[in-house]
Structure 1
Amino acid sequence: MLRRLWVNPYLNFSFRLTTALLLFLLAAWQLDLLPQGVISLLVMPALLIGGIDIPSAHWSRRIALGVLGYAGFAGLTAWIGVHAPEFTTLWFALLGFVLTSCSAFGNLAARLAMGSLTMAVIGLATGSLYPIWQLTLGFGLAVSWLVLYSALWYRLTGNMPLRQSLAETYQRLAALMIKRPEQLLDHALPVHFDEPLGIHLANCRRLLGSLGDPNKNGPLKNAFMLAVDMQERLQAVPDPELASKVLVNEGTYPAYRQWTRAVAARLHRIARDLQRGGEPSKSDSVTQFTDQFLQALEPMLARGGKEGMVANYMANNARQIERLVQRAAPLYQRNIKVEQSQSPWKKWRQMMVWSNPVMRGSVRMSLLLALGSEIGSLMPMDNGFWILSTVVVVWQASFVAIRSRAWQRAGGTIAGLVLALIALTAGVSGIWALLMAVVLVPISLALVTKHHGWTTVGVTLILMLAFEYNGMATTEVIIARMFDTLIGCLLVLGGYRYLWPQWQGGRQAQLRIDSLVSLNHYLKLLLQSFSGKEVAAIDLALARRAAYEQGIALNDSFNQMRQEPGFGRNVQNSTALLALYKGAMSHMNAIVPQVHKGLRLEAEEGQELCHLFDELADIMEQTSKGNIQPWPDSFKEREQWFYQRLESGNTDKSGFVLYQLSLVLQRYHAIHQILLQPAPKAS
């Protein structure tokens, strides 16, 4: 029971930060600086927003920038608020533009910048409490302690964040495996990519990169590559209709369902091994069920034709999945290639043009912070900094995310203030208020990654209790906090809705172009390999990864677009495009094992297919960019040649490859028909 609580990702996260906070407060109490220590720990929201307590690539550099940025911006803003308040609005307008534009450097840089902006607001709020040098030093010491304690925690717990992320990935894979028989039975295989799995894999890749050279961390690297191979095998469905016919019948379905459950149980076991700090154990528990499944497939294998090819593929795929989960290692060893990043300054300059959403978002944030600062200065109480803090915390990358965060922020704040008012009315004050706040800390921290609304309830109550301990909590402050939060939420919602809104429809055209380029490159490497050219395994893996990640991005953008105002007219085409894209990639994934086995097509076939798909890729990419290219009449003869070769060929491995490529061609034709119509627009 205790082990299960310890490895729970939410509770472990809470244990880590709660113990760090308690030790910091204990040290402050020993030095007779407890009130200053409580104020210094206001860095916690900025720490969570910036994410500098979580391992990442170049973590030491991010820690240094975080400590200097958090303390520096808090100190500078506190000085301006005390000694030059007339420049506060201009200062926040400048900070809003500069720090928001840091998103040009990537997601981690954007989070670090938003954390620094949060600290600037905290500096404004606390500038009059203590000498500015004490505040700056206290904030710097607090964030340094929290980050260093987290680093020690991870070292002692065996890279717990990566292990937890890998465990979540395996649990998601197990859930997908369990659902597969029913999906085939109902002819309802998902037509879109599974976003949670994509997010888990991206987190694992980022955390693995934080360990230095990822290729030197054998067990964890193997666990990650195994998950990547499992995702590829699950997505590789050669023909959904025939797969349902082969697997969903009285002879094969019971054995297939038992096999999927055995694989899912094995994936859960690997997840538990990783969570508990060990290496994934080897096991042959799936072998018996695989043998029974393959035995049930024998009548379908004997039929020949396309059904026989699909049945043969399913049998081989089952053996590959069995091998993956049995050995707890990837199908083939390959290094994780560390990508070379572009010059940060060059990336920033490229995005500082009005047509780029980063530029418009930076200007939007600058205006909102300036407006929030001015509104705060007109409020009857000197608590306008809560408007600014709400603007910073509610700010997200899309209107849908902002709308959700604003509702959660407003509701959570009101609920937290009501609870705080009840506690203060009941006489909770002084050291008892501080103790109550400390008790609530682990509960609130456990909810941070679960739900922003519930987290806001806890954080608001803790903040009011901390204010009470410092003699700052009054009914007027509570009322002001409520109204300031509502004003901040309305500012962000209105700003994103009416100030140069960046709707997801505006991203669809470019995402379609990028996705097709990635998919065509993946297919090109496959065809080159079948034609006899040497294609490195790492290059093929990177191409598959790029196509998959572009599909996830297209999928995520589409899901957000569906919830935005006025985009219902684009849903049908976008849904069809996503289904065709994923289907084409599934067929490509299905023939990847033949590449690793060294299969080669006949010289004439390989050369003709390379020419056919190269020309087709160029036509589709040009059409996606708005340069409409109709389906050439000359393609009809070449398609006819292709289908004749398929019909006259054998049902061996080469025949299966041609069969899958013919399905890719059909899906490409359908994608081209969609591309002939205009892509969704930004407004």
Structure 2
Amino acid sequence: MWRRLIYHPEVNYALRQTLVLCLPVVVGLIFGNLQLGLILSLVPVCCNIAGLDTPHKRFFKRLIIGTSLFALSSLAVQLLLLNAVPLAAILPGMALLLGVTAEISALHARLLPASLIAAIFTLSLVGNMPIWQPMALYTLGTIWYGLFNWFWLWLWREQPLRETLSLLYRELADYCEAKYSMLTQHIDPQTALPPLLTRQQKVVDLISQCYQQLHMLSASSHQSDYKRLRRVFQVALDLQEHISVSLHQPEEVQKLVEQSHAEAVIRWNAMTVAARLRTLSDDILYHRYPGRFSMEKPLSALEKIASQHPDNPVGQFCHYHFNRIARVLRTQRPLYVRDLMADRQRRQPLWPALKNYLSLKSSALRTAARLGVMLAVASLLGAALHLPKPWWILMTIMFVTQNGYGATRVRILHRAGGTIAGLLIAAGALHFHVAEGYTLLGMLIITLASYLIIRKSYGWATIGFTITAVYTLQLLSLNGEEMIMTRLIDTLLGCMIAFGGMVWLWPQWQSGLLRQNAHDALEKDQTAIRLILSNDPQPGPLAYERMQVNQAHNALYNSLNQAMQEPGFNNRYLADMKLWVTHSQYIVEHINAMTTLAREHNMLTPDLAQRWLQSCEIAIQRCQQRLEYDAPGKAGEVNILEPPEALAHGPLSRVEQHLQRILGHLSAMLTISSVAWRQRPHHGIWLSRRLRKSD
């Protein structure tokens, strides 16, 4: 029982965040300076947003950089205000100056909003304490936050990676169960594939997160600590490879189901695998060694069906992949050893990052400029409303602004609703005039409960944080009740400014980026097929390219989902692109299947492989040209994406079957992209004649 409590991700995270916030308050209470302890407990908010609690091999270096930026941001705001520089000029300038961090790496990019929040929070302290004191608070608070998290992560060194791996195994179980539970319903890809795409997307996202954590944790230098977890991750890669393959012959599936009880047997195998994966998920998370496993009976039944129907490829296909899955689950060892660090992503050095940042094509520059303009508008609005320190409006903008339109809209709704509910509850509770000790105890309980649910229910967590914020103001200045209505208006104004900024200030509509993402996905497909059909495909590069294909398709699918949530999108254009993405997913699954065959050297002769490769490259390049050029399809254009004449006769090997179906999907994608281009919107980014390559 204690393992499930202490190792549970939500409980572990909530305990860490609550302790790092509340211990300074306890120390301040003990030494008779509660106000200083409350102010010091607010610094970890900046550290959380900056990701300074992320386990990293350069943990202390990032801590020093974060401390310096917070202190310098605080100093800059105070000095510039003393020199009568308007706030509407200070914050945009800081945003543009700090925006270069996004060009260095994604983790460094989090320093921009955190430093701006430090500067905004300093506004509430200006005039109430000397210039050096806010800097000292940020320095001491960040050092305390870093040392506490370093000690906590030292106690639970493997836990962040274990949590991600546990989620990965659980998602693999759900994906396997959903894919093979009802085979007869998978005939129509329009209804069957979208739920599977969503699950596949979650799996690939978690795999990418595991890669990042292995790099950040410097797993290669901690051989004894992470040896078993690296093996567990490699097992998950093998499982994803075999679960996500596709034969894509719905008519053959239907025929086998009608001729035998194959559907029940395949479902039996899938359920057995899914149950084992969920057990392993708990074992990984709660530090337990897995027990023995065997699925001999389900495999025997599947093998019997495959032997009874030798002309139907579905039975042999399912038996082959389930047999590999069972072997991996039984031995708990990967089918082959990969070099997990081969695709290490190096961070961009400062000077090249600055050069890229100064280009008008830089997305980091546009993001920083958008944020700066929103803060400037909020500052001018505060001046118009005679608010000398509109820090709550500014803070609301920082908290609700996310990378995309959809995420910002959802965060605004949750933030506004949670704040309104929290202020109403706090307004009623303040009338009871509870003693200070009980107030602090209640704030502790509310903080713990809010952090327990923040990952899944941000709106409900905001209610708790709003209550603690009001009581913090009450304890600091004894006027929390008077500021409730003001805080409510400030929150709504901040949400409105953030929403307007995401809609009208240089928006990066995903529907306009679909062509580029589709082009990139085809490029990755071509690279992977070229490697698979090479003379001597090596397992390491094969694994890397396979994941690159999956991640590129994931980016395409993400942009499609976000485009469907954007205002004013073109229904017909997105409907056509949705069908295009469906065929792209089938190509990804065929590449997954061919990767396993290439690793086992079950390939074609060099001459045959070269001829198939030429056919695939021609097909992919024609699809790319259709996406790239601003021209409608020719009226008399005939689709000639067919395999070579000499390859169309006689029985095809398993690799050739996959290649033939890839050509079929590419043929459909060529037709779809010709139609989709005519359905495109006729303004903005959609009118560019050529695709702009991303820098």
For 2:295 and 2:475, the matched residues in 1 are separated by 59
Give the structure 1 partner of residue 137 of structure 2: 138
For 2:40 and 2:256, the matched residues in 1 are separated by 61
User: One-letter code of the match for 1:552?
Assistant: N
1:152-203 Cα shifts (integer Å, max 9, x gaps): 2222124211111110111111111222233423125424353322332222
1:13-50 Cα shifts (integer Å, max 9, x gaps): 00112223333333333444331121011123222222
Change (3 A) 1:311 1:459: same
The answer to whether the 8 A contact 1:189-1:240 is kept is no
The answer to whether residue 306 in structure 2 is matched with residue 297 in structure 1 is: yes
The SS at the match of 1:374 is helix
Give the structure 2 partner of residue 62 of structure 1: 62
Of 1-10 and 260-269, more deviation after overlay is shown by 1-10
Of 402-411 and 344-353, more deviation after overlay is shown by 344-353
Give the structure 1 partner of residue 44 of structure 2: 44
User: One-letter code of the match for 2:661?
Assistant: L
Shift of 1:222: 1.5
| Correspondence for 1:665 among 635, 657, 663 | 663
The SS at the match of 2:339 is coil
User: One-letter code of the match for 1:512?
Assistant: A
The answer to whether the 8 A contact 2:553-2:585 is kept is yes
For 2:639 and 2:411, the matched residues in 1 are separated by 50
For 2:300 and 2:116, the matched residues in 1 are separated by 59
The answer to whether residue 604 in structure 2 is matched with residue 612 in structure 1 is: no
Give the structure 2 partner of residue 227 of structure 1: 236
Change (3 A) 1:347 1:101: closer
1:89-143 Cα shifts (integer Å, max 9, x gaps): 2111112223345323332122222111111111112233333323222222222
Q: Which runs of 5+ in 1 are unaligned?
A: none
The answer to whether residue 374 in structure 2 is matched with residue 373 in structure 1 is: no
Give the structure 2 partner of residue 583 of structure 1: 586
Give the structure 2 partner of residue 594 of structure 1: 597
1:215-614 counterparts in 2 under 5 A? 216=223, 217-242=226-251, 244-245=253-254, 248-249=257-258, 250-278=260-288, 281=290, 283-300=292-309, 302=310, 304=311, 307=312, 309-336=313-340, 337=342, 338-428=344-434, 430-528=436-534, 533-567=535-569, 568-614=571-617
For 2:401 and 2:253, the matched residues in 1 are separated by 45
1:71-220 counterparts in 2 under 5 A? 71-81=71-81, 83-84=82-83, 86-187=85-186, 189-191=192-194, 192-193=197-198, 194-214=200-220, 216=223, 217-220=226-229
The SS at the match of 2:135 is helix
Give the structure 1 partner of residue 689 of structure 2: none
User: One-letter code of the match for 2:247?
Assistant: P
1:328-369 Cα shifts (integer Å, max 9, x gaps): 222211111123444443244335433444333322211111
Change (3 A) 1:351 1:511: farther
For 2:434 and 2:79, the matched residues in 1 are separated by 33
Change (3 A) 1:190 1:572: same
For 1:398 and 1:459, the matched residues in 2 are separated by 24
1:619-638 counterparts in 2 under 5 A? 619-626=622-629, 636=640
| Identity across matched positions, percent | 24
Give the structure 1 partner of residue 690 of structure 2: none
The answer to whether the 8 A contact 2:46-2:114 is kept is yes
Give the structure 2 partner of residue 13 of structure 1: 13
The answer to whether the 8 A contact 1:282-1:328 is kept is no
For 1:412 and 1:501, the matched residues in 2 are separated by 26
For 1:173 and 1:643, the matched residues in 2 are separated by 36
The answer to whether the 8 A contact 1:364-1:499 is kept is yes
1:522-557 Cα shifts (integer Å, max 9, x gaps): 1111111xxxx1222221111111111111111111
For 2:411 and 2:262, the matched residues in 1 are separated by 47
User: One-letter code of the match for 2:45?
Assistant: P
CA RMSD, Structure 1 to Structure 2 (Å): 2.6
Number of aligned residue pairs:
666
Shift of 1:67: 2.1
The answer to whether the 8 A contact 1:246-1:310 is kept is no
Of 513-522 and 427-436, more deviation after overlay is shown by 427-436
The answer to whether the 8 A contact 2:615-2:644 is kept is no
User: One-letter code of the match for 2:280?
Assistant: I
User: One-letter code of the match for 2:585?
Assistant: K
Of 344-353 and 606-615, more deviation after overlay is shown by 344-353
The answer to whether the 8 A contact 1:511-1:554 is kept is yes
For 2:357 and 2:516, the matched residues in 1 are separated by 15
The answer to whether the 8 A contact 1:78-1:126 is kept is no
Give the structure 1 partner of residue 691 of structure 2: none
Shift of 1:639: 2.8
The SS at the match of 2:533 is helix
The answer to whether the 8 A contact 1:105-1:347 is kept is yes
For 1:466 and 1:515, the matched residues in 2 are separated by 50
The SS at the match of 2:124 is helix
The SS at the match of 2:41 is helix
For 2:439 and 2:646, the matched residues in 1 are separated by 77
The answer to whether the 8 A contact 2:168-2:206 is kept is yes
User: One-letter code of the match for 2:533?
Assistant: L
Change (3 A) 1:600 1:451: same
For 2:270 and 2:390, the matched residues in 1 are separated by 57
Q: Which runs of 5+ in 2 are unaligned?
A: 687-695
The answer to whether the 8 A contact 1:252-1:293 is kept is yes
The answer to whether the 8 A contact 1:266-1:286 is kept is no
State the TM-score, normalizing by the size of structure 1. Answer: 0.91
1:406-465 Cα shifts (integer Å, max 9, x gaps): 111111111111111111111135443333222211111112222221221111111111
Change (3 A) 1:421 1:637: closer
For 1:608 and 1:570, the matched residues in 2 are separated by 35
User: One-letter code of the match for 2:319?
Assistant: A
The answer to whether the 8 A contact 1:324-1:331 is kept is yes
For 1:605 and 1:513, the matched residues in 2 are separated by 27
User: One-letter code of the match for 2:149?
Assistant: S
Change (3 A) 1:542 1:235: same
Change (3 A) 1:248 1:43: farther
